[in-house]
Structure formats: structure tokens, C-alpha cells
Amino acid sequence: MTDSANLDASTPNPAATGPDDSAPASCGTGPLLKRDYWAVLDNCLFGPIDLMAHVKAHFCELPPEALVTFTAEAGVALGAVLDIVIMPAQRCRVRVIHEDAQSLTLGTLKGHPEAGRITFGAYRNPAGDVVFHIRSRARSSSVATLAGFVAIGEAMQTNTWTDFINRTAASVGTQVRDAIHADTAEADEVPEDGDPCNSPTFIAAGG
């Protein structure tokens, strides 16, 4: 994509900086991967801001339960911590490190198999269609998890986040137009991949 909303971002929110249990990509090992998943929502009646308000309100209902579950006792406000179970029984956590009207960004905490951040955002493309976009920038959190990250991480990420997009579309009474686009590429590390980890992976602009 070439929309401005798809540009790598550097818009930190100092209030998101938490204690030293954060695990930014700079503290991991192996290749840093940028993964993009996005789709046009066909004739979506929700604008980008309303769509993201809906995603935030129903976030824990949208991932595929057969692969991963999220629990957000404090919601998804800035600084909130979400508990995750990666099936069958791997427990880990993430923190909300950035939030605005059109996006939500989670950062991994120590104990997560990956180190990095992921942004969920909505915006309009030049044709005026609503696009829902997920971008992560992450690598394996340790040498011990590197083999699994390389061997099965790609398939699991793709299945999890494409299902998330499909379920988001269905939850607002629409569907994906044509197909979900998925792309993975190795990325160079940038300052935002380190501490303080409080920036989105892209700017969702165009409401």
C-alpha cells in the first residue's frame, strides 16, 4: 500500500511508558519482522473512528479462541495490561502503549514469546473505502523461542490476524472485499523499536 496511513510511525505517547517489564523488539533475538494484514471492509457503515471505538470495546471477542484468548480486566485504555493465553496453554501479557481515535498499539511484556509491538488501525483509502489494518514489528524474545518463531510463528500470526480482521468485519455487519492482504518482510531496527516503547507501528490517518 502507498497510503500515508501505511507509513512507519514515530508518534510516542509518554504516558504509555510503563515499568521495566516491557519487552521491546530491541531486546529480542533473530530477525525483526514487519507483518502487515489489511483489508477493505465492503460498504462499511462505520467510519474509521467508529470502527476503532467498536474494536476497542469488543477487542477480546475478536481473536480466534482456538488460537489465542485475551483478557482485559481494565479494558484497553492507555497503560492497561492484557492477559493472553496462546493455545494450548502459554500465558503471557501485553500493555497498551499507544492509543488514539483511529488506532490501538500493544507492546509485549517480559515472558511473551515475541518482543515487539502491534498496531490495529482504521482509515480511508483514496477511494474513500474503510480499511482495517494490523501491523506488527517483532522478533523472537529469546534464543529459546527463536526456533518456534521461525518455524510456526508465521502461520500462527497469519491465521490469528486474518481471522481477527474477518471477525471484525462480521461484527459490524459487513465483510472483507476481495481478500485480506498479508505481507511479511525483514525490517531494519529503528529507535522506536527500543525503549521507551510507546509508538505505533504506523499512523492511521484519513478518517
What are the residue ranges spanned by the domains of the chain?
Answer: 24-57+95-193
Can you give the pLDDT at residue 89? 83
Neighbour-count burial of 186, counting CB atoms closer than 10 A to its CB (0-12 exposed, 13-18 middle, 19+ buried): exposed
pLDDT at 107: 97
pLDDT in tens, the chain (207 residues): 434 355 555 544 433 444 579 999 999 988 999 999 999 999 999 999 999 999 999 999 999 999 999 999 999 999 999 999 988 888 999 999 999 999 999 999 999 989 999 999 999 999 999 999 999 999 988 766 666 655 566 678 899 999 999 999 999 999 999 999 999 999 999 999 999 999 999 999 987
Report pLDDT for 140.
Answer: 87
Span 24-57+95-193: which CATH code? 3.30.530
How far is it, in rounded angstroms, from Cα 36 to Cα 19? 28
